[in-house]
Amino acid sequence: MAGHCTGCGPRPAAFCAVPPLTRNKTRPVNRFAYNLLFTLILPLIVLRLLWRALKAPAYARRWAERFGLVRLSPQQQAQRGEWLWVHAVSVGETLAAAPLIRKLRAEHPQIPLVVTTMTPTGSERVRDLFGSDVCHVYAPYDHPWSVLAFLARFQPRLLVIMETELWPNIIHYTKQRGGQVIVANARLSEKSARGYEKFPALGKPMLRQIDCIAAQAHNDAERFVRLGVTAQQLQITGSIKFEIELPEDLAERQRELQQLIGRNRPVLIAASTREGEEEKVLQAFRQCLSQVPELLLLLVPRHPERFKAVAKLCADQGLSVVRRSDGLEAGPLTKVFLGDSMGEMLTYFSVADIAFVGGSLVNTGCHNVLEPAAMGLPVFVGPSQFNFQTICEQLEEAGALQTCADASALATAVIAACQDEALRTRMGQAGRTLVAQNRGALQRTFDLVLQHYGNVP
């Protein structure tokens, strides 16, 4: 079931960091005021889309979808009212949803699935992972007209929101049109909870409309209760992200990449780094070189549109760079191997000895720390962890992860790990053990999804 995607849906400029009801800190906001504000800023949203398209051409394509204008085939139109809608914002949420989607396709292939994302990178991951097995479209902006246009085409029986991407109109009109709403793999940091508390007139009615919140852990559930969610709405399922599936051909991929980077030097991977973070990583790396001169940095930026700029940054600092896309071997003098490809993160982890996970030395909340832990790597992160707060706490308590306050602290930690094989082994084994102990969330979430979907067609 392939969707005809004709639009693009990045998160609106005025609401790009957290769910929309957490923005204004002084005035009460209900859904009417929220809709009025959204209408007023629509020109700014379009301008931001144009600006982003200058750096990433994918943002210039498929515009109509953000207004819910999706073209469906006659077969897809006939499935109106049966759709199961999975909403994942970008790459991280798509990867979290992937095991659930695979299980649904394997056990109930007759259920029509529409998967929405809000970024081109998320869109690429959906296509790479599922191809035509699902209908992929960009999510509509959370304006009543856009949401209603989208719902008119699909009329989903169930909406599964991954993690905590809560949009008032999407939830309200899905319920109004007879759909059920689940938040799966739900997480809620203390920072986000405080933000929601500032807007009870908007937040509480929205949360009351959600049929089930499948929380990752007890502390996430407790924060939802503070916001007015009832015990009947809550289930604690654990995190689907613990359900890490290694590709069957991983060993072959590992051998191929190992030939390019070499075997006789330690490798530090800096995974999913963000803008402004590479400078800090390179600062730490240069400090490491004073003690571990043979160290190789495997640098993997989060967004493909930044690959070229990051390569230039490394070269400007006098560091010899080899790019994955060039297919060349890293020689003895190569200091940085740039992972400028998509869909190879597990392969990159498989050839590393130590992992730093990005999005954490800048205030973007960290990225997936479970993948390197599952691969048996010692994991280091910066202090910004709100996207993986509970999981980081679990890993740190188990001895698999260490938080580094800044670039200097990261360098100190990496040097210690490079010089202490026993430390690397202890941290790596602790990570593997924790991941194995927390499996089972997928089945629990799958059961909830089927329960709320109802009779399978």
Tokens at residue 85, please? Answer: 């809608």
Give residue for tokens 């986000």.
Answer: 192
Who's near 374: CB < 8 A, 6+ residues apart?
244, 246, 431, 432, 435
Nearest to residue 112, comparing CAs of 155, 141, 69? 155
Parallel, antiparallel or unpaired: strands 321-323 and 296-301: unpaired
User: In the sheet that 234-236 helps form, which strands lie side by side, from edge to edge?
Assistant: 135-138, 113-117, 84-87, 158-162, 180-186, 212-215, 234-236
Residue of 93, 124, 278, 371 marked active site: 93
Give CA angle at 195 (189, 198), nearest 5°. Answer: 145
Q: Which tokens is 232 given?
A: 């009947």
What is the rounded distance in angstroms from the CA atom of residue 428 to the CA atom of residue 376? 4
Query: Is 93 marked active-site?
Result: yes
**Which spans in 108-167 are helix H?**
120-130, 144-154
For 273, the enclosing helix (H) or strand (E) is strand 267-273
For residues 12 and 31, give the distance between their C-alpha atoms in angstroms, rounded to a whole number. 17
Q: Are 271 and 345 in contact, with CB atoms under 8 Å apart? A: yes
Strand ordering across the sheet containing 321-323: 321-323, 336-338, 296-301, 267-273, 354-357, 379-381, 401-403
Which residues are marked as active site? 93
